[in-house]
C-alpha cells in the first residue's frame, strides 16, 4: 500500500524539491520531511498541498494507488454520460404528484421550443 510520502513524491514528478518548496513558500526541509513520512498532515498544510497539486484532499487518504479522485463507479458514470442518449427525450421532474404522459409531452415540447429559441438567439 502506498504511503503518504510516496504519493506526495509521485505528485511532484520531475520537479525538484527546491522548486516545489519555493512555490509553496515553505522550507525545502519541510517538504522533504513530508515526503518521507507515512502519516498524513492535517489542516492547512494538507489543503495547501491539495490545492498546489490540483487534487482533492481525499486523494491523500485513498492509499490504494488509484487515480486521484476517480473510482470505478465514477469512471463508468462518466462513460455513460459521454455516450449518445438512446430512446425518446426524457423530462425529469420533481413533484409530489405523478404527471400523465400528455402533460410530460407538453412540458417537453415547450422545452424544445425554448432551447431552439435560445440556440437561434446565440
Q: Around Cβ 31, how many Cβ atoms within 10 Å? A: 22
Q: Looking at residue 52, which CATH number applies to its domain?
A: 1.10.260.40
- Give yes or no: residues 64 and 102 share one domain: no
Pair 103, 58 in one domain: no
- Distance (Å, rounded) from C-alpha 90 to C-alpha 110? 13
Q: What is the pLDDT of residue 68?
A: 53
Q: Which whole number is the average pLDDT over 62-87?
A: 67
Nearest-CA neighbor of 91 among 101, 81, 79?
101
- For residue 27, what pLDDT is reported? 92
User: Do residues 62 and 93 share a domain?
Assistant: no
Task: Please tell me the least confidently modeled range out of 1-5, 42-46, 57-61, 84-88.
Answer: 84-88
Within this chain, do residues 64 and 94 fall inside the same structural domain, yes or no?
no
Confidence check: pLDDT of 66 > 60: no
Domain that holds residue 19: 4-72
pLDDT at position 70: 61
User: Domain total for the chain?
Assistant: 2
Is the full-model pTM beyond 0.85?
A: no
Same domain, yes or no: 67 and 8: yes
35 with 9: CB under 8 angstroms? yes
Predicted pLDDT at 18: 94
Q: What is the mean pLDDT of residues 47-72?
A: 75
The whole-number average pLDDT for the span 23-51 is 88
Other CB atoms within a 10 A radius of the CB of residue 32 amount to: 15
Q: Which pLDDT does position 92 carry in this prediction?
A: 63
pLDDT given at position 63: 57
Amino acid at each position: 500500500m502506498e504511503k503518504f510520502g510516496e504519493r506526495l513524491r509521485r505528485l511532484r514528478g520531475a520537479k525538484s524539491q527546491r522548486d516545489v518548496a519555493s512555490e509553496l513558500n515553505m522550507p525545502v526541509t519541510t517538504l522533504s520531511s513530508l515526503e518521507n513520512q507515512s502519516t498524513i498532515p492535517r489542516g492547512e498544510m494538507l489543503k495547501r498541498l491539495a490545492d498546489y497539486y490540483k487534487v482533492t484532499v481525499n486523494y491523500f487518504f485513498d492509499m490504494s494507488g488509484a487515480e486521484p479522485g476517480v473510482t470505478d463507479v465514477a469512471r463508468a458514470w462518466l462513460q455513460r454520460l459521454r455516450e449518445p442518449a438512446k430512446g425518446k427525450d426524457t423530462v425529469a421532474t420533481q413533484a409530489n404528484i405523478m404527471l400523465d404522459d400528455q402533460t410530460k409531452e407538453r412540458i417537453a415540447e415547450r422545452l424544445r421550443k425554448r432551447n431552439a429559441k435560445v440556440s437561434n438567439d446565440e
